[in-house]
């Protein structure tokens, strides 16, 4: 597993959790591929996973895990200490990340210090070299890349995004206006034919040109924006109103969260990218327009915990109006980490089977799933079950 945004709270929780399960120190709670759904499929064993990544900050996974423990206590200190050697050793696989600047250059950033400037092409080549070196060093059969970086401002559409030829010309011309850091990360994975999971709402990663490259090099990809909290509940509840013909008039949501993700989302451009993925599913599920709104505010003291309050105003028999409210409180990384491990195992399975392109059957994991036919969580789940059953039957034969 190669993690872009390696020392973030989610990536750190993924790595520590996987190593804890591998060493028998934790149970695989929340990992769907460890349930009956995954039985009989040649999924990569969790204890076989090797971790590396790109990161803009200095440090290591042990340090990051201790910071998370101090902030919110979600990672138990005894577990961190028991895995400290593993975390230190794996941190040797982490390389400096990339930051795209407005001035058509790339700066490598480590520990908050800016490094040597590079062209877009030079940096794209470096990222690929890091991935190849990781695979060769550890003699890995396959590498799955996962984008866990912070949400970026929306990337305006450009003719350079439409085709691979146009995109690569822009890279060679050093035109940073048409890329984000996530674009370079996804491009590096696609160039090498490595499966890719886009777990953030940033629209710069799975551009049409980059999807073309994944198809060309025979690699599967999945995305975007992991579905872990309020939107997960919406996608489960909205079908209930539709099934019972209860007309939803308004669905108002309000979210508060802390940590780096919350700080990033305090920026209005970044926030808009996130809200767009949270706000789009209701009309699609219900089949009609309605008043809906999602508010997001940054509350530093919450750290990685988040709270969502939703108010649903609906109309029933004889036109009588009623309401429903719910509160969802959870830790973002604890909710998301098992999803990331699931997605990597599904993508690795697809790679073993020679599948390529967008993995529509993984829609239940995302707020804005690639090429999905529905946002209904129940229908999305059936698609994943059908996929797993079809492949399980093949292996039985």
> Cβ distance 16 to 80 under 8 Å?
yes
Same-domain pairing of 312 and 266: yes
The model's pLDDT over 185-242, given as tens digits with 9 standing for 90+, comes to 999 999 999 999 999 999 999 999 999 999 999 999 999 999 999 999 999 999 999 9
Same-domain pairing of 140 and 50: yes
Angle between helices 332-352 and 9-22 (to 10 degrees): 70
pLDDT of residue 262: 58
Residue 270 has pLDDT above 60, yes or no: no
pLDDT of residue 397: 64
Q: Which two tokens stand for residue 377?
A: 């969580």
Of 288, 308, 331, the residue that ends a domain is: 331
Percentage, residues of the chain above pLDDT 70: 91
Residue 184 has pLDDT above 70, yes or no: yes
Residue 104, domain member (yes or no) = yes
Same-domain pairing of 11 and 146: yes
Of 291, 316, 331, the residue that ends a domain is: 331
The rounded mean pLDDT for the chain is 92
50: domain CATH number is: 3.40.50.720
The model's pLDDT over 369-379, given as tens digits with 9 standing for 90+, comes to 998 889 999 99
Using pLDDT thresholds of 50, 70 and 90, give the confidence band for residue 285: very high
Same-domain pairing of 131 and 200: yes
Same-domain pairing of 135 and 280: no
Percentage, residues of the chain above pLDDT 90: 85
323: domain CATH number is: 3.30.360.10
What integer is the mean pLDDT of 300-329?
95
Same-domain pairing of 36 and 154: yes
Same-domain pairing of 87 and 12: yes
Same-domain pairing of 8 and 45: yes
Domain residue limits at 7? 2-226+334-388
The model's pLDDT over 5-52, given as tens digits with 9 standing for 90+, comes to 999 999 999 999 999 999 999 999 999 999 999 999 999 999 999 999
Same-domain pairing of 201 and 135: yes
Residue 394, domain member (yes or no) = no
Residue 102 has pLDDT above 60, yes or no: no
Using pLDDT thresholds of 50, 70 and 90, give the confidence band for residue 267: low
Residue 393, domain member (yes or no) = no
Burial of 323 from C-beta contacts in 10 A (0-12 / 13-18 / 19+): exposed
Residue 111 has pLDDT above 50, yes or no: no
Residue 397, domain member (yes or no) = no
Same-domain pairing of 128 and 141: yes
Using pLDDT thresholds of 50, 70 and 90, give the confidence band for residue 104: very low
Q: How many domains does the chain have?
A: 2
Same-domain pairing of 162 and 219: yes
Same-domain pairing of 382 and 255: no
What integer is the mean pLDDT of 273-279?
58
Residue 357, domain member (yes or no) = yes
Residue 273 has pLDDT above 80, yes or no: no
Residue 65, domain member (yes or no) = yes
More confident residue, 184 or 259: 184
Name 326's bridge partners. 310
Residue 85 has pLDDT above 80, yes or no: yes
Residue 265 has pLDDT above 80, yes or no: no
């Amino acid at each position: 597993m190669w993690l872009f945004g390696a020392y973030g709270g989610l990536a750190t929780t993924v790595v520590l959790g996987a190593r804890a399960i591998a060493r028998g120190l934790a149970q695989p709670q929340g990992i769907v591929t460890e349930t009956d759904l995954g039985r009989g499929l040649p999924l990569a064993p969790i204890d076989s996973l090797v971790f590396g990544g790109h990161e803009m900050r200095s440090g290591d996974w042990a340090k990051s895990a201790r910071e998370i423990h101090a902030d919110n206590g979600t990672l138990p200190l005894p577990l961190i200490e028991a895995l400290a050697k593993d975390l230190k050793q794996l941190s040797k696989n982490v390389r400096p990340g990339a930051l795209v600047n407005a001035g058509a250059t790339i700066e490598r950033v480590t520990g908050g210090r800016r490094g040597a400037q590079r062209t877009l092409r030079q940096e794209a080549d470096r990222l690929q070299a890091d991935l190849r070196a990781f695979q060769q060093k550890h003699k890995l059969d396959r590498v799955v890349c996962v984008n866990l970086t912070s949400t970026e401002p929306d990337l305006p559409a450009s003719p350079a995004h439409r085709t691979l030829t146009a995109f690569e010309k822009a890279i060679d011309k050093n035109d940073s206006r048409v890329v984000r850091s996530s674009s370079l990360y996804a491009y590096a994975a696609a160039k090498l034919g490595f499966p890719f999971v886009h777990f953030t709402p940033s629209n710069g990663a799975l551009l049409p040109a980059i999807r073309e490259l994944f198809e060309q090099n025979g690699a599967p990809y999945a995305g975007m924006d992991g579905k872990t909290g309020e939107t997960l509940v919406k996608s489960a509840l909205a079908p209930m109103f539709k099934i019972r013909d209860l007309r939803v008039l308004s669905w108002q949501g309000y979210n508060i969260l802390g940590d780096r993700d919350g700080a990033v989302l305090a920026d209005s451009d970044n926030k808009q990218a996130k809200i767009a993925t949270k706000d789009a599913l209701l009309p699609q599920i219900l089949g009609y327009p309605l008043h809906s709104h999602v508010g997001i505010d940054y509350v530093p003291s919450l750290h990685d915990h988040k709270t969502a309050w939703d108010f649903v105003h609906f109309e029933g028999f004889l036109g009588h109006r009623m309401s429903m409210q719910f509160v969802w409180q959870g830790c973002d990384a604890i909710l998301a980490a098992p999803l990331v491990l699931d997605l990597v195992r599904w993508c690795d399975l697809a790679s073993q089977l020679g599948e390529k392109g967008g993995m529509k059957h993984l829609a239940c994991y995302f707020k804005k799933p690639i090429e999905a036919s529905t946002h209904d969580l129940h229908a999305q789940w059936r698609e994943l079950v059908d996929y797993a059953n079809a492949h399980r039957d093949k292996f039985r034969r």
